[in-house]
Amino acid sequence: MKPFFAGLCLLLLANTVGAAATEETVNLASGTAVTSHRFAGQASRGAVVLWLTGQDGRLEEEHRAAAYLSGLGLEVWLTDWLAPYFLPQAAPSIAQVPEADLVEWLEAMRQRHAGRPLVLVASGHATTLPLRATAGWQSRFKAPSPVAGAVLLWPLLYQDPEPGEEPEYNPVVTQTQLNLAMLVPMSSAGYWWREAMRAAFEAAGSRVRLTVLPGLRDRFYHRGDAVTQEQAEGARLGEILAPHITSLLKETRP
């Protein structure tokens, strides 16, 4: 393909993805306005995917994946959780997102999509966000979780341990009782702790389906040094996520 036509195709693809989403804002009691990109999907009664992001800003790979999932009939809300608080795009900022806001937003999503199953998605350090939202919601409302499950991409929920020691997990791990699909790249530090993390989740009452992604590293779809395989897998991120979302929707809740 000639460079001009290749560039034109990429431009058309980007415009198509952008046109598929609308901006939706939820105003919280704290005064915070949380804006999401909503990919409406083809069905008004199907499952809703709440994709919580923030550390890496807007990523076209995630927007394309959200558009792909909406083409399967899923409604996707892609939400940057650092932007509303003007926090730096860095891992330490994730912990500064107020839990009360996460809980109120999740309740707003539950009310808006009453009777429809919710599936949460997040990656890296941001995987604490859906887990905090769900655990906080259950603590506040004293009711079964409104969430069918969560897909966690390379979850970074631990502090790097000293040599020979086990990792120390984020407290939210022991507060979580969900169906989880945990996707761990083989060429990542978390690969070595995958079974220990699964055991920690399961000890708290979660059910975990663990999948290893061969030949990939953390952040594989938005690395500056991504190799050919990582670029190829990043281009099909939606296809990677879809079967895990489908599986979560079929499972009974813990």
Model pTM greater than 0.95? no
Length of the chain: 254
Residue 18, pLDDT > 60, answer: no
Percent of the chain with pLDDT over 90: 67
Residue ranges of domains in the chain, CATH in brackets: 21-250 (3.40.50.1820)
CA nearest to 203, candidates 165, 135, 254: 254
Q: Angle at Cα 178 formed by Cα 44 and Cα 151, nearest 5°?
A: 60
Q: What pLDDT score was predicted for residue 252?
A: 87
Three-class DSSP category at 141:
helix
Q: What is the pLDDT of residues 48-83, one digit of tens each?
A: 999 999 877 678 899 999 999 999 999 999 999 999
> Which comes out higher in pLDDT, residue 136 or 225?
136
Instruction: Report the largest interatomic distance among the alpha carbons of the chain, rounded to a whole angstrom.
Output: 60
Provide the pLDDT confidence category of residue 132 given band limits of 50, 70 and 90. Answer: very high
Residue 8, pLDDT > 70, answer: no
Provide the pLDDT confidence category of residue 7 given band limits of 50, 70 and 90. Answer: very low
